[in-house]
Amino acid sequence: MAAPKVKPLILHATGLEPAELLGQLIEESHQHVCQTDGHEYAKEVRVSESILKDPGGFLGDPLLTILGTFDFCVKWNFTSSNEKTRVLESLEAELRGRSFTDSLVRDVALVADELFTNAVFNAPVAGRAHLKPVSRKQKSVAMKKGQFGQISIAADSSRLVLCCSDPYGSLDPQSYLTRIQLGFENGAGASIVDQGGGAGIGAFLVFNLCCSLFIGVWPGRATKICCVFPLKKSGRQRAMLKKHIHCIQL
């Protein structure tokens, strides 16, 4: 009797558009999809192999796992929605001070905005059906005492990585990925949620702007989402890159 086919944990692909790429994780259960026509394919594969050997290492220090060595690393801790302006303005100033292009700074800042919002507003209530979505108009939403989220950035010569972590570990990767996929399949407009908490297109905007997405979840303990942005490329070149995607769960 032939042995059942085992799905590779790293899928090496070429030319997949975002919806198809996401389908490989959602429907085919690959953990990593690296595209040969994506940014720094070989490095992306090495990172995937490293994560498969030590997923806890990624969740402990995702920037170190993704980049290995970096030219700089800056971190901002936050405990409430009130700190969003402070964190994002500081992040933008840091990037502009390092002479990254205006278009890249704007893209990174928007992704940071969406991830911050997710960490503060969505993460505390995700998977808890009895809790209502938190209105984005609510003046102040705070994490519990002793808990904090973190935005961090680091870069080497060819990649800038933005990471956002929260202390809840409540993200459901399947739901998150499916929501992004729907945005690409049906258009973002169809995904907008009129009432309640978020608008429903934040994850779509995040994946649209980065060239590689890492989703790491340690249930009940931490969620870490990392976005990779290619350096030394024009906006058009960045937009043309095929994407990589990774899903890590402890």
Least distance from other proteins to the Cβ atom of residue 235, Å: 5
Subset of residues 203 to 222 that bind other proteins, contact rule: CB under 8 A = 205, 208
Stretch that binds other proteins, among 27-35, 60-68, 108-116, 161-169 (CB under 8 A): 108-116
Q: Does 97 bind other proteins (CB under 8 A)?
A: no
Q: How far apart are CA 51 and CA 246, in angstroms?
A: 9
Q: How far apart are CA 54 and CA 126, in angstroms?
A: 26
Element holding 244 (H helix, E strand):
strand 244-249
Q: Does 57 bind other proteins (CB under 8 A)?
A: no
Stretch that binds other proteins, among 20-28, 125-133, 166-174, 236-244 (CB under 8 A): 236-244
Q: Using CB under 8 A, which of 44, 83, 114, 166 touches other proteins?
A: 114
Tell me, rounded to whole angstroms, the distance of Cα 213 from its chain centroid: 5
Please give the torsion angle defined by the CA atoms of residues 227, 239, 71 and 213, in that order, rounded to the nearest 10 degrees: 20
In this structure, the number of other CB atoms found within 10 A of the CB of residue 93 comes to: 11
Residues found near other proteins in the complex (CB under 8 A): 101-103, 106, 109-110, 113-114, 117, 136-137, 187-190, 192-194, 198-202, 205, 208, 234-236, 239-240
